[in-house]
Amino acid sequence: MSSIKLKNISKYICKNINLEIFDKELLVLLGPNGAGKSTLLNVIAGLIDYEGSVFFNKIPVDKEPANKRRIGYLFQELNLFPHLDVSANIAYGLRIQKQSQDEIRTRVEELLQIMKIKHLSSRYPKELSGGEKQRVALARALANSPRILLLDEPMNSLDYRTSKYLRTEFKILQKKLGITTIYVTHNFYEAEEMAQRIAVLDKGSVEQVGSPQEIFFHPTEAVNDFIGAPNILTCDYCNRLSFGLIEVKCGDISLVVSSEREKIKKVAILPEDIYLSDTRPPGPDVNRVRGKLTEIEESSSTVCCTVKTGKNSLKVKLPQEIFASMNLNIGDEVWLILAPRKLKIITDGE
Amino acid sequence: MKIVKIFKLKWEIIPIIIFLGIWEIIARLDLMPGQFFFPPFSTVVTEFWYLTVSGVLGRNFLSSLIRVLIGFSAGSIAGLFIGIIMGWNNLANKALNPIISLIYPIPALGWLPLLMLWFGIGEILPIAIIFICSFFPILYNTVTGIKNVNKNYIYAARTLGAPDIEIITTVVMPLALPNIFTGLRLEAGMAWRVIIAAEMVAIPTGIGALMMKAESLIRIDIIIVCLIVLGIMCLSFEKFFAFLEKKLTYRWR
């Protein structure tokens, strides 16, 4: 059992934060830069002083220093010790615990195997790639069998492919180990992919806690400002196609979405995830919608357009330069592309 | 690899050989006014051999070496120890920094009159001078080294269960090593420069004292022998610490 409870936590920007993370849960702390996410992790780890109380398994740990809290912490900068090789980095915590040489060797071997980095055991951090460093840092954080794992934007410095691959691997590992985890990110899609629940943090307070679907389809006003208000379409008709694809009809809009479940209630997409074109786009006529431009709102770097398609209206956000290059006016005919990968769905069971 | 190394070394030796050759020729051809004050290199070598065989050079060199080793080791250990306390603990740093900042700029030889009165003319005097000369730079380099260690490494060690003392010995000190070695390297050479000055002024034995005796006997060749020994020792000490630094840190830096 390793639940975490935060009661009236105040530190720096964080004001009176109350939050509960359940045993074995993977909770994603989502928020913009400067929202207080890392501060909250440091409070849980006991690395900084704070007001309020932190409970592990309903027991207050405020008096326990960081080195006694049995926490695995994957820092944003990873912080691998540059003077120790991979094996010594992983073994660091075990040596501190004064485990026997045999025990240390066995555990390090085991972690090298799990993280698939056996071939890197004698390398130094400066000789590793970003993804390899990530694996070593995770192995080091897990070495002491911590009761809680904290990950502070660990994939920030990695390219999309490596980050996606590591996220999938980590999710499987977290489930296998059953370790209570808090994962910090500022990227909604990353949060959605990882989380059982998401807690949205903004300006030092928890704005919303819920499943990824709840956060996306029913965001509070503050969350709306951060992740953006999505276009939400109610489905009138669903039809299962092959390969896990479902054809849905929302008014005059016909879409193909990827889903295991057949009964889809709603479909949503963020304005910045819709492509807008002034001519008919080439390619198959799937997820392409024709409409009329009814509203244009310009801000400093983006333009928000409203496009009427039958009884539905869709908001589309695009960079100002791209919009200017199309020379569009209100009343013009435009085409929209709604990428299946970016469509979020709510099915009957949710 | 070896061939390249030897070749490189040969190139470094060539200018020295040319310099010694010119020296020998100038002295032999009486091109310098007052030939007596400018012995040829071969005379210096002969004198070096004589001083070595007779044991005079060895005895004096050993006296200086022992003083340097004791004073430098004691000063370095003390500087390191207090540097760790000041670098790690902000309160200690705030309390000690004003006093140390005030004493640090005083040249080591400036302490000589005071130390002569406190300790008298004896073995403790040169050791004390070298202690002072080594202590402050190593202290400052240790404090800087510790303060420069990224706080995140300390956080990482802490979350891995390390108490303060383990963090200092296993993370902070190894990462502060490059700075500490800069202090050691510079001061190892400086210790030799200071001991010679102290021996010339106040101590009857050692390389500095031998030079003073040679000066009163107008033995330029002996003075040059002593200067060469001094140059070699300064260089060797500095190179030794540079080698040690490279050995301990090259894999991860």
Shared domain for B22 and B78, answered yes or no, is no
CA-nearest residue of chain B to A88?
B170
CA-nearest residue of chain A to B152?
A79
**What stretch(es) of chain A map to CATH 3.40.50.300?**
4-227
Residue A99, chain B, CB below 8 Å: the answer is no
Specify the higher pLDDT residue, A325 or A159: A325
Calculate ∠ Cα A55-A60-A66, nearest 5°.
85
**Phi, psi dihedrals of residue A79, rounded to the nearest 5°:** 55, 40
Q: What is the pLDDT of residue B2?
A: 56
Sign of the Cα torsion A43, B158, B177, B251 reads negative
CA-nearest residue of chain B to A127?
B252
Could you give the CA distance from residue A63 to residue A262 in angstroms, rounded to a whole number?
52
Six token digits for residue A266? 């709603």
Shared domain for B65 and B8, answered yes or no, is no
Note the pLDDT tens digit of each residue in A122-150: 999 999 998 899 999 999 999 999 999 99
Gap from A45 CA to chain B (nearest CA, Å): 7
Q: Determine the residue type at A150.
A: L
Shared domain for B15 and B83, answered yes or no, is no
CA-nearest residue of chain B to A75?
B156
Residue B174, chain A, CB below 8 Å: the answer is yes
Could you give the CA distance from residue B161 to residue A146 in angstroms, rounded to a whole number?
10
Residue B46, chain A, CB below 8 Å: the answer is no
* Ranges under pLDDT 50 in chain B: none
Q: What is the pLDDT of residue B34?
A: 66
CATH number of A231-347: 2.40.50.100
Q: How far is CA B179 from the centre of its chain?
A: 16
Q: What is the pLDDT of residue A301?
A: 85
By the 8 A CB rule, do B130 and B67 touch? Answer: yes
Shared domain for B21 and B45, answered yes or no, is no
**DSSP bridge partners of A237:** A249
Residue B24, chain A, CB below 8 Å: the answer is no
CA-nearest residue of chain B to A122?
B251
Residue A166, chain B, CB below 8 Å: the answer is no
Report yes or no for ipTM above 0.90.
no
Gap from A178 CA to chain B (nearest CA, Å): 20
Shared domain for B143 and B174, answered yes or no, is yes
- CATH number of domain containing B159: 1.10.3720.10
Residue A96, chain B, CB below 8 Å: the answer is yes
Q: What is the pLDDT of residue B7?
A: 61
Note the pLDDT tens digit of each residue in A302-321: 899 999 988 888 999 999 88
Residue with tokens 């195997």, as numbered in its chain: A113
Domain that residue B13 falls in: 1-38
Shared domain for B112 and B8, answered yes or no, is no
- Residues in A closer than 8 angstroms to B170, CB to CB, are 92, 96
Best of A96, A126, A144 to substitute, by most chain B Cβ atoms within 10 angstroms, is A96
Shared domain for B30 and B56, answered yes or no, is no
| CATH class given for the domain over A4-227 | alpha beta
Note the pLDDT tens digit of each residue in A68-111: 999 999 999 999 999 999 999 999 999 999 999 999 999 999 99
Shared domain for B106 and B7, answered yes or no, is no
The lowest-confidence range among A147-156, A237-246, A268-277 is: A237-246
Best of B154, B159, B173, B253 to substitute, by most chain A Cβ atoms within 10 angstroms, is B159
- Residues in B closer than 8 angstroms to A81, CB to CB, are 153, 156-157, 171, 175
**DSSP bridge partners of A53:** A7
List C-alpha distances in Å: A247 to A219, A240, A255.
26, 6, 6
The total domain count for chain B is 2
**Cβ within 8 Å, pair A96-B160:** yes
**What stretch(es) of chain A map to CATH 2.40.50.100?**
231-347
Q: Determine the residue type at A33.
A: N
Six token digits for residue A273? 């995830």
Helix axes B41-54, B220-249, angle to 10 degrees: 80
Gap from A287 CA to chain B (nearest CA, Å): 48
The lowest-confidence range among A117-126, A150-159, A287-296 is: A150-159
**DSSP bridge partners of A345:** A267
Gap from B154 CA to chain A (nearest CA, Å): 9
Shared domain for B4 and B117, answered yes or no, is no
CA-nearest residue of chain A to B158?
A67
Within the 195-234 window of chain B, which residues sit less than 8 Å (CB to CB) from chain A? none
- pLDDT confidence tier of residue A27, bands split at 50, 70 and 90: very high
**Cβ within 8 Å, pair B161-A126:** no
Q: What is the pLDDT of residue A229?
A: 80
Could you give the CA distance from residue B190 to residue B137 in angstroms, rounded to a whole number?
10
- pLDDT confidence tier of residue A253, bands split at 50, 70 and 90: confident
Shared domain for B170 and B219, answered yes or no, is yes
Shared domain for B111 and B179, answered yes or no, is yes
Note the pLDDT tens digit of each residue in A199-235: 999 999 999 999 988 888 888 888 877 877 888 888 8
Shared domain for B45 and B17, answered yes or no, is no
Pairing between β-strand A26-30 and β-strand A180-185 as defined by DSSP bridges: parallel
Residue A92, chain B, CB below 8 Å: the answer is yes
